């Protein structure tokens, strides 16, 4: 797995935080976690992760996760973080990158639209899916082809 310690953008930088190996028994692919920091500072505004690989879990849960602190939202940090993460997928030979979100999360849906992800549709989670067991019933599924 190829890991970059720093990925620089215009407004933000992604700084490597942690990596997690695959857990095939749970259907988890390897994951790389980055802090999202204001460019050329140490001020953390959020976190994102890249799940390296594709399987049923990444179809339903996505290859990319992101979170921006509530007080830092609205500055375009999440779309920029997603765009920067795409290099991680390219470096690791992943060409289909899924992003999913709860159907009520309009902000996350807008992030997907801003980065040019193709809307696959609203899908009902399988009954045995972990997210379904946590109370979610449907997700928006988006795809970025690299």
For residue 59, the model assigns a pLDDT of: 97
Cα 17 from Cα 48, distance rounded (Å): 10
Q: How far apart are the first and last CA of the chain?
A: 18
- pTM for the full model? 0.95
For residue 133, the model assigns a pLDDT of: 92
Structural domains in the chain, CATH included, are: 6-145 (3.40.630.30)
Segment 101-125, tens digit of pLDDT: 999 999 999 999 999 999 999 999 9
Residue 93 has a CB neighbour count (10 Å cut-off) of: 10
Q: In what order do the strands lie in the sheet with 96-102?
A: 96-102, 138-145, 118-124
């Amino acid at each position: 797995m190829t890991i970059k310690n720093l990925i620089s953008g215009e407004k933000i930088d992604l700084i490597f935080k942690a990596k997690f190996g695959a857990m095939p028994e749970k259907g988890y692919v390897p994951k790389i976690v980055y802090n999202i920091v204001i460019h050329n500072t140490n001020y953390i505004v959020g976190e994102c992760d890249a799940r390296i690989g594709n399987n049923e879990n990444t179809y339903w849960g996505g290859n990319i996760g992101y979170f921006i602190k509530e007080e830092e939202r609205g500055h375009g940090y999440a779309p920029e973080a997603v765009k920067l993460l795409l290099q991680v997928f390219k470096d690791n030979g992943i060409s289909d990158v899924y992003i999913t979100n709860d159907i009520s999360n309009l902000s996350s849906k807008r992030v997907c639209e801003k980065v040019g992800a193709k809307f696959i549709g609203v899908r009902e989670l399988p009954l045995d899916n972990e997210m379904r067991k946590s109370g979610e019933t449907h997700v928006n599924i988006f795809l970025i082809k690299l």
